[in-house]
Amino acid sequence: MTNIAAPHIDALRTLLGESGLLVEKHDLEAYETGARFDRGVAAFVMRPKSTEEVSAAVAYCVTHRIDFIPQSGNTGLVSGSTPDETGTQAILSLDRLTTLGGIDVVNRSVNAGAGVRLSALNARAETDGLFFPIDLGADPMLGGMIATNTGGSRFLRYGDVRANTLGLKVVLADEAGTVLDFTSGLRKNNTGVDWKHLFIGTTGVFGIVTECVLNLEPLPGQQATALLVPASDQAVPGLLVQMEQACGSALSAFEGMSGNSIRAALAHVPALRNPFEGGIVPDFVILMELTRTSQACERDQPLDALLESVLAEIWDSTNKPLANALMGPPAEMWALRHALSEGVRHSGRLFAFDLSFRRGDTLAFLAQMKAQLADTYPDLTVCDFGHLGDGGVHFNLVAQPDDPDLADPGFEAALRDLVFSVAVDDFGGSFSAEHGIGHKNQAWYDHYTPQAVRTLAASLKRAISPGKRGAMHF
Ligand SMILES: Cc1cc2nc3c(=O)[nH]c(=O)nc-3n(C[C@H](O)[C@H](O)[C@H](O)COP(=O)(O)OP(=O)(O)OC[C@H]3O[C@@H](n4cnc5c(N)ncnc54)[C@H](O)[C@@H]3O)c2cc1C
């Protein structure tokens, strides 16, 4: 049972109703446990079912100095959506904000609650031949996607959540629970500050997203995929540029997958087929995808024919950038790509880094970092994969349970210091490319963010949303 005083529980139950407040241990567990290794203790869970109820609950918590953490699908990877161990933090779950409005086919947009799952939105949009073009191996809720500015595998073509958000409704963490409505759904509106951007990618620090208006894209009518094995690391940036020049806007994904991450996925999901001959997995593989919204018609070259001819041309080019190339069914190739994250998670104790680089630096970083790790921590396995098309790298390090380094309480921090110093200091990269800031990377936010920027963020927070939000700060 919660350690927050009973009168608060009674007052919040009056505001949210019986099913809007969870206090029993067995009801809290799912909300206390994150997608990876996070596990905290919640004082209680609030589950408002409208923006008005979010406003009332937030106003109550801010007025009574109750610390709360917004939570949507709880698939975040930086410990941002779960409470700490103290049992004093409440969870504000948006999982009952599931209103899904009709699709505006002419505006190509939809109004939706923060608790709508990505899969539910896409199931609805599909009936109008549309989809929300953020693609990832999890099924988050829209509020969490906005709060983390999710990137995903088709960033190259469609951009991130920010690029696809037309409007928001937010509740500020002040004593009034002020509601700000930016849900006009306009695609252009230069009438001053575009405030919605303050709430995208800032993990709830400036306010809680309760509703959104999202851009939808036409569903691809044609799709063609191939797995490319580059002849060398040095060949990869050139391949990306060649593909963009040859395929133009049809190029919708250019994903990198290390051999170690592919092996982990194949081991974890026996139903996956190893597409490479003789069961040998290459050291590095690129999944590339072409999509076109129109169906194949006589005047166009079908996409698989386009892909085949581009690959043939590159194969025959004098610099020989390809060691192998396989075309195959998109569903099968994407199933492999989407299994990497869970496969790696199940292959040992995982230390995950979400990095990004200028596109030309990605492979150079991987080479330098792997060499340094082989010297310093030779027992770690590097299982990297990521979004070569936008410079994103999920740099995963896996230790086996008997690795003596795991007994060292300073090991993880030392590892993070090492990887971030190479990624950020040496290569000018980002230590959080698409997962936002949470407890897991707060210390490095503090370290790498200039004091003037931190002061600006803190004064903005004080001005508009002074209520606490976990221990996190910007
Ligand atoms: C297998 C797997 C693959 C993934 N692949 C990718 C990927 O390719 N690209 C990528 O970008 N991410 C990826 N992720 C990370 C994760 O799915 C995204 O960060 C996701 O969009 C978070 O959404 P969520 O609903 O789960 O949010 P949560 O995890 O619930 O919350 C995330 C953060 O946002 C805050 N928050 C939640 N809801 C709100 C709200 N309504 N208002 C204000 N703040 C809020 C929380 O406090 C927390 O700090 C992956 C995760 C998994 C498990």
pLDDT of residue 37: 73
- In the predicted structure, residue 414 carries a pLDDT above the cut 70: yes
Residue 51 Cβ < 6 Å to ligand 1:
no
Task: Give the mean pLDDT of 27-53.
Answer: 94
**Interatomic CA distance for residues 177 and 51, integer angstroms:** 10
Give CA separation, 474 vs 66, 122, 193, 327, 457, in Å: 19, 33, 20, 46, 6
Confidence of residue 36 (pLDDT cuts 50, 70, 90): confident
Ligand 1, pocket-test mutation among 75, 171, 464, most atoms within 8 A of CB: 75
Using CB atoms within 10 Å of the CB of residue 52, give its burial: 0 to 12 exposed, 13 to 18 middle, 19+ buried: middle
Task: Give the mean pLDDT of 206-219.
Answer: 97
pLDDT of residue 2: 58
Which pTM does this prediction carry? 0.94
pLDDT of residue 462: 93
What strand order describes the sheet that includes 109-113? 100-104, 109-113, 208-215, 165-171, 179-182
Confidence of residue 473 (pLDDT cuts 50, 70, 90): low
8 A C-beta contact, residue 164 and residue 143: no
Query: Closest Cα partner for 405 from 351, 345, 342?
Result: 351
pLDDT tens by residue, 310-337: 999 999 999 999 999 999 999 999 999 9
- In the predicted structure, residue 35 carries a pLDDT above the cut 70: yes
**Which residue type is seen at 134?**
I
Torsions phi, psi of 400, nearest 5? -80, 150
Residue 392 Cβ < 6 Å to ligand 1:
no
Give CA separation, 438 vs 71, 77, 84, 171, 203, in Å: 12, 8, 12, 20, 8
Q: Tell me the average pLDDT of the chain.
A: 94
Confidence of residue 4 (pLDDT cuts 50, 70, 90): confident
pLDDT of residue 470: 64
Closest residue to atom 50 of ligand 1, CA basis: 138
How many other CB atoms are there within 10 angstroms of residue 428's CB atom?
10
pLDDT tens by residue, 234-266: 999 999 999 999 999 999 999 999 999 999 999
Instruction: Give the best-scoring range by mean pLDDT among 142-146, 152-156, 460-464.
Output: 142-146
Closest residue to atom 15 of ligand 1, CA basis: 76
Centre of ligand 1 to C-alpha 150, Å, is 7
pLDDT of residue 337: 96
8 A C-beta contact, residue 241 and residue 323: no
Task: Give the mean pLDDT of 440-464.
Answer: 93
Residue whose pair of structure tokens reads 């009034």 in the numeric block: 176
DSSP 417: H
Task: Give the mean pLDDT of 440-444.
Answer: 91
- In the predicted structure, residue 299 carries a pLDDT above the cut 80: no
- In the predicted structure, residue 1 carries a pLDDT above the cut 60: no
- In the predicted structure, residue 294 carries a pLDDT above the cut 90: no
Does the CA dihedral 179-140-445-197 come out positive or negative?
Answer: negative
pLDDT of residue 11: 97
Ligand 1, pocket-test mutation among 68, 72, 92, 134, most atoms within 8 A of CB: 72
Task: Give the mean pLDDT of 57-73.
Answer: 97
Ligand 1, pocket-test mutation among 61, 71, 387, most atoms within 8 A of CB: 71
Closest residue to atom 49 of ligand 1, CA basis: 80
Task: Give the mean pLDDT of 87-96.
Answer: 96
pLDDT of residue 166: 98
Centre of ligand 1 to C-alpha 80, Å, is 9
pLDDT of residue 41: 96
Query: Closest Cα partner for 153 from 307, 337, 333, 366?
Result: 337
Domains of the chain: 6-93 (3.30.43.10), 100-218 (3.30.465.10), 222-341 (3.30.70.2190), 348-436 (3.30.70.2740)
The percentage of the chain sitting over the pLDDT mark of 90, rounded to a whole number, equals 92
